[in-house]
Amino acid sequence: MAINKRKASPIVKIGIWVISAMLVLSFTLPMLIDGLSGNTGATNTGTGQLDATAAKFGPSVQALEQQLASQPTSYTVLASLGNTYFDWGMEAQQVSPDTGASRPMWNSAVTYYDRALEVQPGDPNVMTDASIAHFYSGDAVGAIAIIEAVIADNPDFAPGYFNAAIFYEAIGRNAEALAAARKALALGTGGDPQVMNDLIARVSTGTVETTTAP
């Protein structure tokens, strides 16, 4: 069962924010919004909610991208860009039922997280955030590959199991979803325990039927 993107996501984001110096913008905000979104039609909803999210996150993205121009391999800047696009994508999908409105943000988050992890691999926090970004960008297989690597290297990392359970359920791997959810609960979940309890309730019957079928 896929996550309902019209509601706040139960997925646990645990990225570490790094304070970055804000640069003075030399052009107008509407131009910035158009350039960053890559899809002006997606923000033209009439309610102004998507425009508001662009106005909120656009300046931070612009400042960080200017820093990146002079520090193209900065782990701090790359991870911060991933985090900013992550939060932008999360807000965009909460205010709009159209997944196309948030997809560009998730794609950008994936790009910057992946670049950050090329520079400095292995941080379970950034890897977990990257897996979530992959998931919402439509790449469930990539999301699972990353979160499985997190769990393999950090077997007591509860948020890894929490998110793995959600990813597995979304693509119908119920037995693995059930095992991951139970492990998350045993470790303290790394998120809202009710989310894991609800997931277990949803998949348990299906898992039993699958494993006991002739």
Q: Which residue has the tokens 């965009």?
A: 92
Q: Which residue has the tokens 């158009």?
A: 34
Q: Give ranges for CATH 1.25.40.10 in the chain.
A: 12-154
Q: With H, G, I as helix, E, B as strand and everything else as coil, classify residue 33.
A: helix
pLDDT of residue 4 exceeding 70: no
pLDDT of residue 168 exceeding 80: yes
Average pLDDT in the chain: 80
pLDDT band at 8 (very low <50, low <70, confident <90, very high): very low
CA distance 146 to 132: 9
Report DSSP state, residue 22.
Answer: P
- pLDDT on residue 47: 56
Does 35 or 112 have the greater pLDDT score?
112
Q: Is there a contact between 34 and 77 (Cβ–Cβ < 8 Å)?
A: no
CA distance 199 to 191: 13
- pLDDT on residue 9: 52
Q: Which CATH superfamily is domain 12-154 in?
A: Tetratricopeptide repeat domain (1.25.40.10)
- pLDDT on residue 208: 45
- pLDDT on residue 44: 44
Q: Is there a contact between 162 and 12 (Cβ–Cβ < 8 Å)?
A: yes
With both helix axes pointing from N to C terminus, report the angle between 49-70 and 75-95 in degrees, rounded to the nearest 10.
170
